[in-house]
Amino acid sequence: MSKYRNSGRGIYRSRDGVILGVCKGLADYYDLSVFWIRVVMVGVLLVSGFWPVLGIYFIAALFMKPEPVQPLENEDEREFYHSYVHSPSSAAQRLKKKFQDLDRRIRRMEDTVTGRDYEWERKFNS
């Protein structure tokens, strides 16, 4: 069973599935054996024909997000992962903005520590 089962999210495609990970992702989500999911898929394939099952399978693969590589620890990580899956460029812009904000804060701290008044204040306070 996947380590993501009870994390309060939707169905993911498994990264180690046989064909796009749809059956294994469904099995992980519903806590069933992947064998039985595949047996049902083959049974539906035999009853309904090749094209309907193949079409539904590939549509499911398109709409199911890939399983995260690492477990999602909190809601912020979950939100970022879902935003990345839907729009990688938007997620990259969010990361760029966050790093620019961090860079700005570090520069302010460096300016304070390397400023002329800092050394005098440190000597005065000690």
CB neighbour burial string for 106-125, b if at least 16 within 10 angstroms, e if fewer: eeeeeeeeeeeeeeeeeeee
The span from the CA of 4 to the CA of 10, in Å, is 10
The span from the CA of 32 to the CA of 77, in Å, is 27
pLDDT over threshold 70, residue 1: no
34-68: per-residue pLDDT in tens? 999 899 988 988 898 888 888 888 888 888 888 77
pLDDT over threshold 80, residue 109: yes
One-letter amino acid for residue 34 of the chain: V
pLDDT over threshold 80, residue 10: no
Residue 92: per-residue pLDDT? 80
Residue 114: per-residue pLDDT? 81
pTM for this model (two decimals): 0.50
Residue 9: per-residue pLDDT? 56
Q: Which residue has the higher pLDDT, 78 or 31?
A: 31
What are the backbone angles phi and psi of residue 66, rounded to the nearest 5°? -70, 150
Percent of all residues in the chain with a pLDDT value above 70, rounded to a whole number: 88
Q: Per-domain residue ranges for the chain? A: 1-86, 88-126
The set of residues, in sequence order, having a beta carbon less than 8 Å from that of 37 and lying 6+ positions away, is 23, 24, 26, 27
